[in-house]
Amino acid sequence: MRAAAGTVKKVALELGGKNPNIVFADADPDAAVDFALTAAFLHSGQVCSAGSRLLLHRSLHAGFTAELARRADLIRLGNGLAKGTETGPLVSAEHRAKVERLLEGALAEGAVVRAGGGRPTDPELQSGFFLRPTVLDGCRADMTVVREEVFGPVLTVELFDEENEAVALANDTPYGLAGAVWTQDTGRGERVAARLRLGTVWINDYHPYVPQAEWGGFKQSGTGRELGPSGLREYQETKHIWRTVTPAAQHWFAG
């Protein structure tokens, strides 16, 4: 945006995210756990819309996090071309080191590791920049790992007791790209989705993208849109043409 300002270029920027995945007490537990894994660990979390913040109703905490951690530990790391691989490495040694520093900071701030938390020990994975899918419990909204985009296989778990608290936690971020709401209450799903300051909200789903639907974020997640009618308009300029059919002198000036 700064580079384009000198010549007043129009820009559309799809930037980062710190995306909340809200699970209410009445959500389908099997589906919610399954999609929480996909939301956080697809492509080892190297997705701008990754559901890296799990906001979980307190009544679900013990059972949900236990199953989430169990399944996270079973995710198969490996070469993306190898049969059976479910997720791959991080993009570079530098990026893995950054993610590891954020993990160290999270533990220092009081987070608890429920799954992962370090590099795999498999000899076949030592030549890649692998990091095990990590579930961090006991997280708070003021933690660095909750506020900064990790862009790695790290899922933080925060708890809430009621709807307004869930919405406040979800919106308490400088980002606003995407997120999800899990509930069997249709009214609640639509109500919460409307209150979230996010460019895309999925209800009982995570990560579907279609070319007909606009994509982009609020706040520091960007400006403008890709895809959909709004995405097409980013490449267009509006022109106003006025034609007077029967022109006549106005005599604005007396002379």
Q: What angle do CA 224, 225, 231 make, to 5 degrees?
A: 120
Which tokens go with 29?
A: 């537990």
**Which of these, 166, 153, 151, 147, lies nearest to 220 by C-alpha position?**
147
**Which of these, 194, 172, 192, 170, lies nearest to 183 by C-alpha position?**
192
Cβ neighbours of 241 (radius 10 Å) = 4
Q: Is 109 a catalytic residue?
A: no
Burial grade of 234 (CB within 10 A; 0-12, 13-18, 19 or more): middle
Q: Is 48 a catalytic residue?
A: yes
- Selecting among 14, 139, 149, 158, the annotated active-site residue is 14
Collapsing DSSP states into helix, strand and coil, what is residue 230?
helix
- Catalytic residue numbers, as ranges: 14, 48
